[in-house]
A = this chain, B = another copy of it.
Amino acid sequence: MAYAIEYIVQTLKAARQNKGLSQRALSKLAGVPQSHISKIENGAVDLRLSSLVEIARVLDLEVILVPRKSVPAVQSIVRSSRPAERMAVAQSVVTELKRLQQSLVIAMHKHSEIKEIAQLQRQVRELQRFNIALPELDTVRDANRTVQAFKDSTKGLAEIRKTLSELQNLRNAIVHTLPAVETVTSAYTLDEGDHG
């Protein structure tokens, strides 16, 4: 799935969550089956424009075609229109990161010989310096679950390594995204991400 489509899908999902709607609630509002909402959010269907417009509408969003060169400016406006939402989300993420850090402290007491856990600690400390958005919340929650469920086994360690990798990807994605508004090498430059 091309980046542009993933962005749209993730924006819809984030908007739904930000409004505190379940898929079933959105289903009723938009007149789309819940199963279809699930597929849409998971990129399992290539939805029609009419469906997109209707779902966006009930989420107080509108589909706009923007000249590529204006995308950074537009995204800046879009972002600045969500201060209250962003604060609430940021707080959730901050809380979740703290929980993850605490889980890691406990895990370090039990398994100080596992270097990946120390690495995870460093990673989390670095992530705490960023302003993380909602799509990343799931990643952090998953990480917390993994650390809390960790057992000193081959499978457990594989999960830890996977989590470490995911958090590194998250960090890299954030670093890559941060200058988005200021430069023309934006993450939203489709020349990079959409080769056909």
Residues of A within 8 A of B (CB): 2, 4-5, 8, 11-12, 15, 46-50, 52-53, 56-57, 60-71, 73-75, 77-78, 81-82, 188, 190, 194
Q: A47-B49, A48-B46 are in contact. Are A64 and B60 (CB under 8 A)?
A: no
Determine the distance from Cα of A15 to Cα of B65 in the docked complex, in whole angstroms. Answer: 10
Identical subunits present: 2
Q: How far is the CB of A151 from chain B (nearest CB, A)?
A: 42
Top 9 nearest A-B pairs (CB, nearest first) are A70-B81, A61-B65, A11-B65, A46-B48, A4-B53, A46-B50, A60-B68, A64-B66, A67-B81
Are the CB atoms of B71 and A66 closer together than 8 Å? no
Determine the distance from Cα of A185 to Cα of B51 in the docked complex, in whole angstroms. Answer: 25
Determine the distance from Cα of A78 to Cα of B68 in the docked complex, in whole angstroms. Answer: 10
Are the CB atoms of A61 and B68 closer together than 8 Å? yes
Q: Chain B contacts of A65 at CB under 8 A? A: 8, 11-12, 15, 56, 61-64, 78
Q: How far is the CB of A127 from chain B (nearest CB, A)?
A: 26
Q: Chain B contacts of A77 at CB under 8 A? A: 66, 70, 73-74, 77
Are the CB atoms of B57 and A4 closer together than 8 Å? yes
| A67 to chain B: closest residue by CB | B81
Q: How far is the CB of A1 from chain B (nearest CB, A)?
A: 8
Are the CB atoms of A74 and B67 closer together than 8 Å? no
Are the CB atoms of B67 and A190 closer together than 8 Å? no
Q: How far is the CB of A27 from chain B (nearest CB, A)?
A: 16
